A and B are shown apart, each in its own frame.
Chain A
C-alpha cells in the first residue's frame, strides 16, 4: 500500500463526501423551488440572489434550535438514530463509478472509491441498513406515532426490497456481473440497460421511491396521520440529520438508477469526445454527464412528489406484494427465456 494510493483514495472520498453533502443541501433548496414553480409560486428568494443562501440559513436555524430529549426516551438510541441514518445514507456512494479513470501526468486515477465485485449487493445491504436509522429513532422516541411510523417504515422497506432485488436479477441476467463498474462499462455509448430492461427499470424506479420514503410512498413520515412520523420527537440538528439523510438517499438512489439503467457516465458520441479532449478532460465530461443524469432523476423525484397523492397503507402493501413482485418474477422469466433463445440461435 503506497502512500500515494492512500492519499488518492482519501482525496476522492473527501470530494465525494463533500459533493453528496452539498447536493443534499441544495436538494432542499431545489425541492422548495421546484414545488413553488409547479404550483405557480416563486419559492424562497430572500436569502441572497434567488434565495441561493437559503440552505445555509436553514442550517444555521437548525443548529440554533433547542435540543430536546424526551424524558422517557432511550437516550442512547435516541442519539444513535440520526447518526445511523446519516451514516447509511453516505456510505452508499463508495461503490458508485463516477467516471472512467482520469490520467493526470503518469498516474491513472479511477473515479470510484472501490470497485468490489459485489458492488450491487453492497448497495442493497446499505439500503436495507437505511431503515435502521428510522426504526431506532422511532423506537427510542417512546412515542406512539413515532413507533407506528417505524413499523410502517420497516414493513414498507422489507416489502419493496424484495421487488427491488427481483427487478435487479433480470438486469443481472442481461449483464452477467454484480460489479457496478462492469455494468456501467457494458452500457457503452447508447447501449443503456433501460432499452433492454424497460419493465425492470420501472419496477426499480417505483421501489426506489419506496426505499427512500419519498412521495407517493412517504407513509413513515406522513404529517396528517403521524404528525411527522419517526422524527416527531426530534429537534435541532438531529432532526436536520434525518431530513438531510433523506436527501442524500435520494441522491444515492438517483446515482444508482442512472448507473444501472441510464449508462452512468456513458453518452452517445463519447468516443469522439474522448479522442478530441484527451484522457484528463474527457472522463470529466463523462462525469459531468453522469451528474446531469443524477440531477434529472432528483428532479423527477421532486416532480412526482408534487403530482401524486400519498398511497394508503393497504394500497401500498397491495402494490408491493401483489403487483410488483409477480411482475418482477415475470420479467425475470421472460428475460431468461429471451436470453436462452438468443444464445441458442
Chain B
C-alpha cells in the first residue's frame, strides 16, 4: 500500500563514527542551539498585568444587550433556553407595565434570567437562536469562585451597563 504520509523514515542503527563517539562536537552544537534561545524573545505573557487579546470569534461570558435607547432587548421568548444543549439557561417572563416602557423594548420581558456558568459549554447556540439580538458571548473568561451557587449568574451580572446620558 502507498504510504499516506511521507513521514515514514527507515531508521538505520549504524555504529557511531569516531567523531560521534567523541561527543564533544555534538555537545558544542547543542550548546550553540541552547544559547541561541537565550537571546530569543520569550513566549510568556505576564498574565494578571498583561492579557492576551482574544480572537475575533472568541466566546466568553454572556451579556444581555440593550438597544440604542438603553432598553433591554430580551423579550423572554425562551429560544435561547430551548436551544441550549447544556440546559444552562432559565428565565421567568413578565408583562411590561406602561410606566416601564423606557426599561424594556418589547411588551414581554425577562423578570429573571439566569445562566449556570458551570453547565454552560460556551457553544454560542443561544447567540444564534436569539431573534432579538439580545444575547452575545462577548465577555471575558468567567472568573473562578468557591461555591457552586455563585456560578449561577443572574441579570445583575449579565445585563449590559445602562447607557450613560450624554
- Is the beta-carbon distance between A307 and B34 smaller than 8 angstroms? yes
Q: Which residue of B is nearest A34, CB measured?
A: B38
Chain A residue numbers with a CB within 8 Å of B41 are 40
Q: Does A227 contact B (CB under 8 A)?
A: no
Selected contact of B37 from candidates A39, A45, A304, A308, CB within 8 Å: A39
- Smallest CB–CB gap between B122 and chain A, Å? 29
Given contacts A303-B31, A307-B30, contact A42 B44 (CB under 8 A): yes
- Is the beta-carbon distance between A303 and B42 smaller than 8 angstroms? no
The CA-CA distance from A177 to B42 in the complex, in Å, is: 49
Q: Mark A33-56, 1 if CB is under 8 A from B, else 0.
A: 010111111100100000000000
- Is the beta-carbon distance between B34 and A303 smaller than 8 angstroms? yes
Chain B residue numbers with a CB within 8 Å of A26 are none
Q: Does B43 contact A (CB under 8 A)?
A: yes
Selected contact of A41 from candidates B33, B35, B43, CB within 8 Å: B43
A side interface size, CB within 8 A: 15
- Is the beta-carbon distance between B42 and A37 smaller than 8 angstroms? yes
Q: Mark B9-47, 1 if CB is under 8 A from A, else 0.
A: 000000000000000100100110111011011111010
- Is the beta-carbon distance between A40 and B37 smaller than 8 angstroms? yes
The CA-CA distance from A30 to B58 in the complex, in Å, is: 39
Q: Does A306 contact B (CB under 8 A)?
A: yes
Selected contact of B35 from candidates A36, A40, A45, A303, CB within 8 Å: A303
- Is the beta-carbon distance between B27 and A307 smaller than 8 angstroms? yes
Chain B residue numbers with a CB within 8 Å of A307 are 27, 30-31, 33-34
- Smallest CB–CB gap between A270 and chain B, Å? 29
Q: Which residues of A contact B (CB under 8 A)?
A: 34, 36-42, 45, 202, 303-304, 306-308
A36-B42, A41-B43, A307-B34 known, 6 other contacts, Cβ within 8 Å: A37-B37, A37-B38, A38-B34, A40-B41, A40-B42, A303-B31
